[in-house]
Amino acid sequence: MPREAWLPILMLVGSNIFMTFAWYGHLKYKTAPIALAVLLSWGIAFFEYWLAVPANRIGHGYYLAAQLKTIQEIVTLVVFAGFSVLYLGEPIRWNHGVGFLCLVAAAIFLFGNWQASAG
């Protein structure tokens, strides 16, 4: 894989960090007004889009759209797992691990060369 093909993945990691904080960061501050949480989340999401949209545009030169979506979903779960443990203090349980493995299996199918050979 060319070195440049890693750039969209790194950008998706960054965008997912922003988006995870936008969607779930306010859960530590449940006494704050919901309107404030929405506005702050929207502001954070603005920066997420500045990484996600270019990541997908650049990435489409190296990956199929279905592959990009699969990368994004796996990155989302990895980022969220770290966020859940480190920021929210919530544990990752065995069933979460099994679900993550199912996504890895999906990635294997999406990235594999499964074309039937003409015989």
Every domain of the chain and the residues it spans = 3-111
First to last CA, the chain: 29
Residues of the chain above pLDDT 70, percent: 95
Cα gap 116→119, rounded to integer Å: 9
Q: Look at residue 46 in the predicted model and tell me its pLDDT.
A: 95
Chain centroid to Cα 53, Å, comes to 13
Query: Is the pLDDT score of 13 beyond 90?
Result: yes
> What is the C-alpha to C-alpha distance for residues 74 and 69, in angstroms, rounded to an integer?
9
pTM of the model: 0.80
What pLDDT band is residue 119 in, cutting at 50, 70 and 90?
low
- Of residues 100 and 115, the one with the higher pLDDT is 100
